[in-house]
Homo-oligomer: A and B are copies of this chain.
Amino acid sequence: MSKIKVGVAGYGVIGQRLADGVALQGDMELVGVANIAPTLSIRALKERGMPYDLYLVDGADKQKFADLNIPVAGTFEDLLDKVDIMLDSSPGGVGEKNKELYEKKGIKAVFQGGEKNSVADVFFHGYANYEKGVGANYLKLTSCNTTGLIRSVDCLDKAYGIEKVAITIVRRVADPGDYHRGLTNALQIEKAPSHQAVDLMTIMPHVEATGILVHTPVTHGHIITVLATGKQKITKEMAIEAFQKHDRIRMVRIADGFLGNASLFRYARDLGNPRGDMYEIAIWEESIVESGADIMYALNIPQEAITIPETIDAIRAACKLQLTSEEATAVTNKYLGIGKWK
């Protein structure tokens, strides 16, 4: 079988990680990436020796790229002519405009969380509603927090049944290197319910969810606390057992030195992972606590890389590479090296 040809629009924080992730998939071919300006990430791509072909979107200043000796493989339309599916990680709102081109060219696309839900036929998660994405033309991924949150809730739901969750998102306010946004010595609260709780109900309509989000001045990963009400009583041991079986969840211990989100970032760097990225969420064993019929736990979301596996799952669904979540996630995980540490 020939490989699925994939392009990436937007070579930013997410785009470059999508490109790396697709390039690792044995049954996919990364045709190239598209961007508009010679950003630091594009300069780094050049310094790396252009492992990926670069295409310029409309409005790009070609001369600037030429002045910097950055090779350009063609226009955005040139890229679209060569691919089966686009991963669109353009800035919010741009994906919607790009979609017109995708439709014109007759290619599929997976949009990132910043776009409106209406841009896509399916609001997608690789574990919780894979089957809805099978054969679909336009999918939108859940956001970083929602993707990781759903992994854990879906995991408990499949094992024991979940009726209700209440979440508190302790959100990192910016990515490392962001200078266009930031908080200094301040927590910021947002109107409840948080969109992540609402999105969870869209993906898992049988679960009632609410939540509050608080921005915090850190950059290495969100922490979410989840209070979950099961259809049956879920003990701490039952939760641990389910979480430990999940390939995209790491159970960690404060006692081992995983004191918070920054420990996990350091650990991923110590692993030598490119960019210090981690695809898995982490759940702290010591955070899991029962309260009456409910169970509460805290998880960590490495915001820059968390959606990469589920986005690749989305390619598998859209292109019918696999027909079930179980099969698709297993293949994605194998190529990304997820779970090999278990």
**A257 & B39 in contact (Cβ 8 Å cutoff):** yes
User: Which residue in chain B gives the minimum CB-CB distance to A261?
Assistant: B187
Please indicate the chain B residues that have their CB under 8 angstroms from the CB of A188 in the complex: 179, 259-260
**A208 & B170 in contact (Cβ 8 Å cutoff):** no
Task: Say if the beta carbon of A118 comes within 8 Å of chain B.
Answer: no
**B47 & A177 in contact (Cβ 8 Å cutoff):** no
**B184 & A291 in contact (Cβ 8 Å cutoff):** no
The prevalent SS among residues of A at the interface is mixed
Task: Say if the beta carbon of A272 comes within 8 Å of chain B.
Answer: yes
CA gap between A263 and B176 in the complex, in Å: 8
**B177 & A44 in contact (Cβ 8 Å cutoff):** no
Task: Say if the beta carbon of A100 comes within 8 Å of chain B.
Answer: no
Total chain A interface residues with beta-carbon distance under 8 A: 82
**A272 & B271 in contact (Cβ 8 Å cutoff):** no
Across the interface, A185 reaches (CB within 8 A) one of B166, B168, B185, namely B185
**B187 & A260 in contact (Cβ 8 Å cutoff):** yes
Task: Say if the beta carbon of A174 comes within 8 Å of chain B.
Answer: yes
**A41 & B214 in contact (Cβ 8 Å cutoff):** no
User: Which residue in chain B gives the minimum CB-CB distance to A37?
Assistant: B257
Please indicate the chain B residues that have their CB under 8 angstroms from the CB of A284 in the complex: 189
CA gap between A47 and B225 in the complex, in Å: 27
A residues 127-167 near B (Cβ < 8 Å) are: 164, 166
Please indicate the chain B residues that have their CB under 8 angstroms from the CB of A39 in the complex: 257
**A270 & B275 in contact (Cβ 8 Å cutoff):** yes
Across the interface, A296 reaches (CB within 8 A) one of B44, B48, B166, B223, namely B166
**A166 & B291 in contact (Cβ 8 Å cutoff):** yes
Across the interface, A341 reaches (CB within 8 A) one of B47, B210, B288, namely B47
CA gap between A45 and B133 in the complex, in Å: 38
User: Which residue in chain B gives the minimum CB-CB distance to A269?
Assistant: B275
Please indicate the chain B residues that have their CB under 8 angstroms from the CB of A257 in the complex: 39-40, 43
Task: Say if the beta carbon of A319 comes within 8 Å of chain B.
Answer: no
Ordered by A's residue number, 21 sampled pairs between the chains whose C-beta atoms are within 8 Å are A39-B257, A44-B270, A166-B294, A168-B168, A170-B216, A176-B269, A178-B186, A179-B259, A182-B186, A184-B218, A185-B218, A186-B259, A186-B260, A188-B259, A189-B254, A189-B259, A192-B298, A209-B291, A210-B291, A214-B260, A215-B260
Q: A43-B257, A172-B187, A179-B263 are in contact. List 5 more A-B contacts (CB 8 A).
A: A166-B227, A177-B262, A179-B183, A193-B289, A216-B217
